[in-house]
Copies of this chain bind each other. A is one copy, B any other.
Amino acid sequence: MARGSTRPTSRDVAQAAGVSQAAVSLVLGDKWRGRVSEATARRVREAAEELGYRPNLAARNLRLGHTRTVLLVVPALTTEFFAGVYTGAARVAAQHGFGVVLYPSPEGVGPARDPFASAQAALDGVIASSMAADALTAIRGDQLPLVMLDSDPDGSLGAATVNLDIADGIRQVADHLLALGHRRFLHLAADVPSWTFEVRARELAARVGAVADTELRTARAPITIDGARAAAEAALSGPGPRPTALVCDDDKLAAGAYKAARRLGLRIPDDLSVTGLDDLALATALDPELTTVRLDAELFGERGMQALLAVLEGRAPDGGDIPVELVVRGSTGAPGHRRP
């Protein structure tokens, strides 16, 4: 884990390029015009690239007396509303060279009474969801200790992983539907490249394929209610015998499926059984309430943090997937109650 080696500083870059630290600062700070030759500037940039130099933000902030960073305090993360607030603020901020850091005030007994203590930033490590794929390359650029959430344990990243036992959840869903008598399945899959979604597809195919006379189709949709509605509507009104069970990659997709069913005049669960995954509040806001797989998000976060602490202390993070639980509600039943 490269314990001994410390991060290169601007002085290291200077030495490598055969110039002074000041010259490095000028070049990398884009203030060198008329002060440093083009050739030297290039040498500096190459040396920086070579060493993987990244400026120490604490030092820069100290020197500059400001950080061009702003804190957005929101009541909680539970609503899409503040997601939009963040997006808008971040966009404008970026246009002005500012960054935005989120401090969601913790629900219940808040541990950190002082948001500023938590926003001191510059990082010791990273916890990352495998769905935030585009950020990963940037993360790997630094040598920061990294914990991945729901990612391929054997992946090439070489990072510690903490996983929910999604595979088991999908198996429970499949077994539940098979036991009810379903044989024609539609998998409404998230259109996002991520290990966690690959697992769903693989396990569902394995479990359904193990039973005779079954059929499994797949439709892909972005993870939005209306994206899912469109995909489900198209798939359900296609040719051939209609599927009787719809397995969705998450609850939000399932909500879209409900909309699709309404528009097609299909009744849940009489004409179509639907399952989700997550067990959001949304699941019980639907009518009928959604059969889904409950994920313990808080535990997931705790385990992620514990794993990172372990890595930081040189210990091995303790493995083991986090168990999940099938919650059977009104959206699943035996197929074919009304005209099949």
B-contacting residues of A (Cβ < 8 Å)? 54, 56-62, 66-96, 98-107, 110-129, 131-132, 134-135, 138-139, 141-142, 149, 192, 224-226, 252, 255-256, 258-259, 262, 278, 280-282, 284-287, 295, 297-302, 304-306, 308-309
Contacts and interface: CB of A to CB of B under 8 A. Distances in A.
A305 B92 contact: yes
A226 to B, nearest CB: 7
Contacts of A125: 70-71
B111 A90 contact: yes
A131 B75 contact: yes
Contacts of A120: 57, 60-61, 67-69, 99, 121-122
Nearest to A280: B80
Contact of A105 (B98, B134, B285): B134
Contacts of A113: 134, 138
Nearest to A298: B88
Contact of A298 (B75, B87, B96, B121): B87
A306 B138 CA distance: 28
Contact of A80 (B103, B114, B281): B281
A76 to B, nearest CB: 6
A287 B285 contact: no
Contacts of A82: 77, 129, 297
Contact of A304 (B89, B252, B284): B89
B301 A86 contact: yes
